Amino acid sequence: MTGDVIMTTHICPDAPVTPRLPVPFMGSPVEMETLNTHEVDPEMDAVLSIDTTKGNRVINTKEFAIFPTVKEGYILKVSDDLLRIMEITTGRMPAVLPITTQDITPYENGLFHLNSILQPSVATLSPVVGVAITTESTVPGCATGASHEVDVDLVVRFVLEVAKSFGRGQCHFYDEEEFEKLIDLYGSMRHLQSLGVGR
């Protein structure tokens, strides 16, 4: 494989659980800004952010799904290369999770977020894609016995194939020319990576 792969994570044996519909929400005792400082390396040319995303009613597919690419406050089209790799590693049609503007803003602003999977996008200028382990039904992330090794294995194989293809220059998270055209037409959206204008 060409290039380096940087893997970061955190482990919390006592994550706080807060009431939320449709299921309780599992949080972190550490501020998201602190986590991003340790988990997002400035040398990363692209980021795959992996998390379980089961406590919702916006996806009803078991195994995993990806989010559209997020870069500098813009929600971009879903990467065709990532969809292709998903099809190869799963043998199924790819699944894509819907996304909102709130999801790509900092956690600390008090807005609704589906979960924290896209929080690395507020701490980097590189493209970020969420890789969500999903279920058909609504499952609380704080429940024991809710993670299945078959789904985790699929995600690991997908991520490894993406890393190999990305290193060879055969996988692109976004269209660079189209992104530049977006900037030319509409300007920067990097204010969405902050806590807000005037704060």
**Residue pLDDT, tens place only, 56-104:** 778 888 889 999 999 999 999 999 999 999 999 999 999 999 999 999 9
- Asked whether residue 198 is domain-assigned, the answer is no
From first CA to last CA, the distance across the chain in angstroms is 43
Structure confidence at residue 192 as a pLDDT band (50, 70, 90): very high
- Asked whether residue 11 is domain-assigned, the answer is no
- Overall pTM surpassing 0.85 (yes/no): yes
Q: What mean pLDDT do residues 28-35 have?
A: 80
Range(s) of the domain holding residue 176: 45-190
Q: What is the per-residue pLDDT across 108-143, written as a single tens digit (0 to 9) for each?
A: 898 988 888 999 999 999 999 999 988 887 777 667
The share of the chain scoring above pLDDT 70, in percent, equals 97
- Asked whether residue 172 is domain-assigned, the answer is yes
Helix (H) or strand (E) run with residue 65 in it: strand 63-66
- Asked whether residue 77 is domain-assigned, the answer is yes
- Asked whether residue 9 is domain-assigned, the answer is no
* Domain total in the chain: 1
Q: Which of 156, 190, 192, 176 is nearest to 48 (CA)?
A: 156
- Asked whether residue 13 is domain-assigned, the answer is no
- Asked whether residue 31 is domain-assigned, the answer is no
- Those residues whose C-beta lies under 8 Å from the C-beta of residue 153, and which sit 6 or more positions away, are none
- Asked whether residue 2 is domain-assigned, the answer is no
